Structure 1
Amino acid sequence: MKKVASAILALWMTCFLLVQPVWADPTVEIVTNGGITAYSPGYVMVISGKVADEDLPMPNTDVFIQVYPEGKENNVIFYSGTKTDSKGYYKAIFTLPSGSSLPDGKYKIAVNTAQASAEQLFSVPLAAQGLEYMGSSIKGAENGFVEPVPVDTDQIALVFNSNVNFFYNKNYPDFVIGKNDNNEDSIKLFKGNTPVAVDVNLIDSIANSPAVDLSYYQKGSQIVLQETDSKKVILLSPESGLEPNTEYRIFISKDLCSNNGSKLGQDVTLSFKTGESKAVNPGSGGPSGDNPGPADPSGNNPGAPEPGTPAVPEKVVPAPDLGNIVKDNDTVTLDVDVKKATDILKDIGEASLVIDVSQEAGKDKTVSLPAEVVNLLKQMNKLTIIRDGELSLTIPPEALIQGKKMTFSSLQVSGEALTTSPAAARQKAVYSFSASSDGVPLHNFNKEIRVTLPIPAGTADRDKLGVYYLNEASGQWEYVGGRIKEGKLTFATSHFSTFMVAESEKTFADIQSHWAKKEIEVMVARHVIKGINETSFAPKSNITRAEFASLLSRVLNLADADAGNAFKDVAAGAWYASDVNKAVKAGIIKGSDGRFRPSDKISRQEMAVMIDRAYTYAGGKVSTLSNTAFTDNERIGAWASDAVKSVYTLGIIKGRPNGSFGPADNASRAEGAVMLKSLMDKRGL
């Protein structure tokens, strides 16, 4: 029977292949649920994507989809004939067979049109975690909610243990995967028994969201959300707000799906009552210890608080009120008292244990956390923040070691004994940070610790400040990073050592009168770009596609890609191969017809498209696009139009003095440096 079906399908494909219109250079893309690559028998699977001709969508195009074991084209387990919509997208949903009818191994998805085809592999089975409801941003307990919810609460968060299959797909701007009756419509809000209109949205980036106060309540305990919790949080926003002193309930259907196809399995109902009190912005910040506050809808100014929004003051505990202080010359040690720390940590309204040693005289300051406090910090998933004036260490619970007494020390040292400094940089301040676990020195941590430092006196240009650590093995200073936030210098590190704050003095002879001199010098200070030699930058020279992809990879600190090259014209040993593959994995570059053209000079509109994708990858979103005011708008390619509007709206591009954009013109090294700096500043990179 399968052979007959395959023969009929083959004949059907032959027929539609003969009647399709001719396109120049078409491509087919494939995306599965959440982009994962392994599924278990019985799970729901979504196959979707876009058919395009050099980035132009191909609407009303016949698409033929087959799924079969790798190497066994005749054993088709799913097939579908469909058409692309008006924007070139296609989609098919089916349930993988259960039990022995779907044996272990690799399976292939084959998508064919008359002009192009694509294939993608996935594996079976996956030891998938079933979807579970974890808690909400409404404070409650196992037997119900214990406090009235502020009446001006405008968003309620629901948190799950794995990614929910209702999300905006970054690769396809107008396409939502998993938006169906089993997802969006599975969550409803009722006032009594009356349905309430509510917007249902999934958090695509925890770092870029002001919602849910970056925490939720699970069985009465407050849990801080981490970056990895993105796409596990669904937000409910009542369209008309909440009414005072009113009973509400949230219904979550058992049919809610995760992105691996598993379902919730049982209905969940949450009940709560509103009060009269007003909500406030917690302001305690997220897992990093920063205080992002509400994000600007355009994504232009993440971290800016809404005007008039009061903040709950952070509970800062002076050292004498938190334990015993021991002084020895210039050394101060605080032994944190278990009971005093426990009283603070068990306060559900506190997201962190803030220890202030500012008033204690001494250069070398140490905070000692007993094992019991360490265990509670990890159990409650709360931060430890150690402050000494403008210096602070924000220590996530993942950096602590269960069952161990831990110490953290900071010391500002004199740099006079140091014989070296970073190249082309002037030393401004030197710090030494150390830690121990049960008395054993600890140099590396499982999670980065955020360090905040004061701006050193005598700094000429704070934008050129950077932090370097001393690699004791090589004796060299290595760049760590460092950005100015709220008037202080901050950086993150997963290891302790000696750190130097230095101000870059690097410049080039050929940029002294150039319009981009400041931006070029800052990007050199950030170790993103270099000159063509020690004295020249060549600001007017063109930049290649490979060079720009490499710079973006560096700016975004992209993760390593899988082995193998994404393009046939990118040689495995090429200096840019790794960065290009990273950018492909991140969805920033796509190429055409299996080629990337690495040596071609990048055009200004191509650069705009890559910048726009990088901005989205970094968690940015532009809600409303502004029309460009360029004199040559008609020259902007349709495939690049929205990207150009996006970066124009963000202020990353402003056009040329004559009012033109020059979309097809080759971009210069100076233009690339300016755009990349603007991207970094917009997203706080």
Structure 2
Amino acid sequence: MKKFFSVILILTVLFVSAFSSIAASSQYEIEVNLSQDKLLPGSEVEIFGKVKENGNGYSNTPVTIVIEREEDKSKVFVKELMTDSNGDFRTVFKLNEDIAYGKYDIYISSVGIVKIVHFTVEKNKPTSELVLELDKTKYYSGDTVKISGVAYKEGAIVSYTPVIIKIFYDDQIKFVKELMTDSEGKFSVEYKTMPEQATGVYKVQAEALGITKSIQITIEEKPADKNEITLRVDKDKYYLGEKVKIDGIVYQNNAVKPDTPVVIKVLYSGQVKFEKELMTDSEGKFSVEYKTMPEQATGVYKVQAEALGITVEKTFNIAKKPSTGGGGGGGGGSSSSGASKNKGKEVKETEQGKLTIEKDKNGNILATFEMDSRKLMKQLEKDNQNKLIINATSGKDADRVVINMDSEIVAEIGKKGKVIEIDIDQVKVEIEPEALHLEENSKISFDVRKLKKEEANQYLKELNVRYLPVSNIFDFKLVQIKGEKETKLVFKKPLIITINYNKDKVKNYKKLGVYYLNESTKTWEYVGGLPSQNGTITFKAGHFSKYTVMEYNKVFADVDIPWANEAVEVLTARHIIDGVDDEHYAPYANITRAQFAKLLVYALDLEKGENEVTFTDVKGDVWYKDSVETAASLGIVKGYNGCFNPNGEITREQMATMIVRAMKYLNPDADYSSQLSFMDKEEISNWAKEAVGIAYNKGIVNGVGENKFAPKDTANRAQAAVMIYRLLEVLNRM
């Protein structure tokens, strides 16, 4: 082996001698950098740099790297490389666990030059300790596991250091979360178990400071809930044409169960004649009416209520109405019935169909629009817009608006390549017909209900004080009706919804977001949205539920930085960035390449491209895998020799380059002129110079003072937030 290394050195000397005569006409230099210069056994050092000819990168030229221990000149590493098209080279030296301690020299030889740099292998690892705690070790399916701990180094707490929490079941990772310790070295996170997940022994693992700690927990099946439904019909016998009033209450464990799906079915001779999906109200109650038809069969009918996995039944009879005698009496009865039916209703023709306005017993106004397919077809043939606009404004400040239309006209609108825009008083919805799976000879019914203040308060009373509701709560439903059967429509792509908000309540419109009510957890979850100053916010809805607009005002105790305050607060309000704990952001903590890639993907709502890119150092179920591979598939991040270096701290030039690549992907036709005037522009890597110039011209990056950019300096969390904020401004996403 020593003979082999000697041959390598001799060849290197010969190469350097031979090259010296060629180099006379050109100026060459070698730049060399190390990822770190103090190492521990088992760690690794990245060696990278650039070969230059007359100030420019020198491509496809050999580079030889030799590492030897300074004390005895024993060689531990030899590698021959070629520079890439930019003149860059890079390699990684992995230290053995039994490597000798002391100082090591690295010889980098190319173009007749030998450059020497050094690193030291330290004797003792710093004494670190990681404390991992759980609130308990036995849980039922659906419970929340509360995980916490503290990180120490040499007896002192370690603030703002990364911690990775993993939960394993059957050696498979089921949960991964990256955290930062707070100012007291503490960390905490919650893991919500699912009702349907596997039971058995799980392992909770924490990784920090090179230490791994784990605790076993047991998840058992939750004892069955005691579910009960009371079902009632208002009477036992009905005449043809009368309404059957059906109601009931859902209980779970002897308590009423609000916001619970209930399916009501009416059956005759085993055939479903009517089906309706409902939700229980805040008191666990449900109600619906079934209108019998004059021509339907008489006899015994069965009504079923299904909820929480149980079904209850009631029966009732339908009979023909007895004859009332002579024609005069019959005529009088008919006249009286007609007057009763129309009492309290306002019916009028519109340019697109018929509008019926009526009040229920509680004073709620219902506006129902029955769309006339012939009128819509004429509008469709006349309009040259890319959408067909349905005017569903009633002028009555309706509490609920229902729009019904035939599936055939919906399909025809889709064939014309147009979308349907439904304009209601405070809401606008865009539906792409191809997003709906419709049956022939059916109707679609779009239903928007504006919650009254009393009901809305029930859903908002548990809100954190930092959340300020600034709009009504709207409950959206979209169903398909065929005969007596009504089914919820699932759309294949998100719908575009615009909601009005109250401008007088808002302090900073950029902090607005749309939230939906998770019916399972009874919590509001962030959806997103693009707010405007004129009192509207537009968002994509992947499903229908209750939605509202809120302003989220959160201020971190450690962020009082004039140039960063607005960016940190707005990105926090939009749930793009998080603090290291509830009170602290750690603005001056550095950010890794993986963290910034994830931040960029999430802020821009990017989806994976067709170009599949993987890295050898981004494997398994690590928390950043999807984000890094998404960014790589779109050309936003690039590795070197198949590696990404996810845990490397990102530099300012790397951050600027990622941002500009993202801009070009999203808006390829924009002006991307580049101009550099920084005093240290020669220190900017060749591959980053254009991007830094573009980012500077766009106002996304600035210097650090004295007209310097400091391209190789690592970026911190405050700088990352500001750059993302400015990027969103440039892309008109603020």
| Superposition TM-score, scaled by structure 1 size | 0.52
1:417/1:573 Cα in 2 relative to 1: closer, same or farther (>3 Å)?
A: closer
Change (3 A) 1:563 1:662: closer
Counterpart of 1:382 (choices 397, 418, 421) is 418
Residue aligning to 2:591: 543
Residue 516 (structure 1) aligned with residue 554 (structure 2): no
Change in Cα spacing, 1:53 to 1:424, as seen in structure 2 (3 Å) is same
Q: Is 1:355 matched up with 2:382?
A: no
**For the structure 1 residues 57 and 637, does the alpha-carbon distance in structure 2 shift closer, same or farther, using more than 3 Å as the test?**
closer
Give unpaired runs (5+ residues) of structure 1.
Answer: 1-18, 26-51, 63-83, 89-317
* Matching of residues 334-413 of structure 1 within 5 Å: 334-347=369-382, 349-361=384-396, 362-402=398-438, 403=440, 404-413=442-451
Give the Cα–Cα distance (whole angstroms) in 2 for the partners of residues 375 and 593 of structure 1. 51
Deviation at 1:617, TM superposition (A): 2.0
Q: In structure 2, how many angstroms separate the alpha carbons of the residues matched to 1:348 and 1:325?
A: 22
SS state of the match for residue 667, structure 2?
A: coil
Larger Rg: 2
Work out the CA distance in 2 between the residues paired with 1:390 and 1:684.
Answer: 24
Separation of aligned partners in 1, 2:614 and 2:635: 12
Contact preservation (8 Å) 1:443, 1:497: no
Which of 407, 427, 432 aligns to 2:469? It is 427
CA deviations on 1:654-681 (whole Å, 9 max, x unpaired) are 3234332221111111110111122223
Q: What corresponds to 2:352 in structure 1? A: 322
Distance in 1 (CA, whole Å) between partners of 2:608 and 2:672 is 33
**What's the secondary structure of 1:432's corresponding residue?**
strand
Q: SS of the residue aligned with 1:672?
A: helix
Match of 2:480 among 437, 441, 448: 437
SS of equivalent residue, structure 1 residue 664: coil
- In 2, the alpha carbon distance for the partners of 1:478 and 1:495 equals 13
1:30 aligns with none
Deviation of 1:369 after TM superposition, in Å, equals 1.4
Instruction: Tell me the amino acid that sits aligned with residue 354 of structure 1.
Output: I
Q: Which structure's residues are more often strand, by fraction?
A: 2
1:496 is displaced (CA, Å) by 0.7
Q: Which has the higher contact order (CA 8 A, sep 6+)?
A: 1
The change in CA–CA distance for 1:505 and 1:449 in structure 2 (over 3 A counts) is same
User: Residue 588 and residue 24 in structure 1: after superposition, are their counterparts in 2 closer, same or farther (change >3 A)?
Assistant: farther
- Matched with 1:469 is 516
The equivalent of 1:224 in structure 2 is none
In structure 2, do the counterparts of structure 1 residues 628 and 87 end up closer, same or farther at CA, with 3 Å as the change threshold? closer
1:541 deviates by: 1.5
Deviations 1:599-632 (A, max 9, x none): 2211100000010111122234443514133232
Q: Secondary structure of 1:634's partner?
A: helix
Measured in 1, the distance between the counterparts of 2:474 and 2:443 equals 24
What one-letter code is carried by the residue in structure 1 that aligns with 2:415? Q
Contact kept? 1:344, 1:350, Cα under 8 Å = no
Partner SS state of residue 505, structure 2: coil
Q: Distance in 2 between matches of 1:477 and 1:611?
A: 31
Alignment partners' CA distance in 1, 2:409 and 2:384: 18
Matches within 5 A, 1:172-571: 320-329=350-359, 330-347=365-382, 349-361=384-396, 362-402=398-438, 403=440, 404-413=442-451, 414=453, 415-418=456-459, 419-421=461-463, 424-429=466-471, 430-438=473-481, 440-442=486-488, 444-456=490-502, 457-485=504-532, 487=534, 488-559=536-607, 566-571=614-619
Mapped partners of 1:397, 1:676: distance in 2? 35
Paired amino acid for 1:372:
E
The one-letter amino acid paired with 1:492 is K
Structure 2 counterpart SS, 1:410: strand
Q: Name the CA distance, whole Å, in 1 between partners of 2:389 and 2:710.
A: 53
Note the C-alpha offset of 1:561. 7.7
For residues 363-402 of structure 1, give each alpha carbon's deviation from its aligned partner in whole angstroms, at most 9, with x where no partner exists. 2111111122112112112111111245211111223334
Decide whether the 8 Å contact of 2:613 with 2:633 is kept in 1: no
Contact residue 436 and residue 442 of structure 1 kept, 8 A: yes
Say if 1:391 and 1:629 are closer, same or farther in 2 by CA, change over 3 A. Answer: farther
Specify whether residues 574 and 663 from structure 1 end up closer, same or farther in structure 2 by C-alpha distance, changes over 3 A only: same
Which residue is 1:664 aligned to?
Answer: 712
Q: Assess, with a 3 A threshold, how the Cα gap between structure 1 residues 349 and 477 changes in structure 2: closer, same or farther.
A: same
CA distance in 1, matches of 2:85, 2:641: 22
Distance 2:695 2:423 in 1: 39
| Aligned amino acid, residue 436 of structure 1 | V
In the TM superposition, what whole-angstrom CA distance separates every residue of 1:420-478 from its partner, at most 9, and x where no partner exists? Answer: 33684222222111111116242531121111112324111111111111111222221
Q: Residue type of the partner of 2:649?
A: K
AA aligned to 2:374 is K
How far off its partner does 1:511 sit?
1.0
Please tell me whether the aligned partners of residues 325 and 334 of structure 1 are also in contact (alpha carbons under 8 angstroms): yes
Whole-angstrom CA distance in 2 between matches of 1:515 and 1:654: 11
Q: How well do the aligned residues superpose, as a CA RMSD in angstroms? A: 3.5
Contact map agreement 1:566 1:581 (CA 8 A) in 2:
yes
Q: What is the alpha-carbon distance in structure 2 between the residues aligned to residue 543 and residue 323 of structure 1?
A: 58
1:633 is displaced (CA, Å) by 2.0
Matched residue SS, 2:650: coil
Equivalents in 2 of 1:384, 1:549: separation in Å?
37
* Structure 2 CA distance for partners of 1:59 and 1:601, relative to 1, 3 Å: closer
C-alpha contact 1:54 1:592 (8 A) present in aligned 2: no
Letter in 2 for 1:490: T
TM-score, normalised via structure 2 length: 0.49
The percent of aligned pairs where both chains have the same amino acid is 31
Provide the C-alpha distance between the structure 1 equivalents of 2:477 and 2:353, rounded to a whole number of angstroms: 21
Amino acid at match of 1:326: T
Instruction: For residue 538 of structure 2, give the secondary structure of its aligned residue in structure 1.
Output: strand
Judged with a 3 Å threshold, the aligned counterparts in structure 2 of structure 1 residues 626 and 616 are, in CA distance, closer, same or farther, namely: closer
1:637 aligns with: 685
Q: Which residue of 2 aligns with 1:647?
A: 695
CA gap 1:632/1:337 in 2 versus in 1, 3 angstroms: same
Relative to structure 1, is the Cα distance of residues 407 and 319 closer, same or farther in structure 2, using a 3 angstrom cutoff? farther
- Number of aligned residues: 392
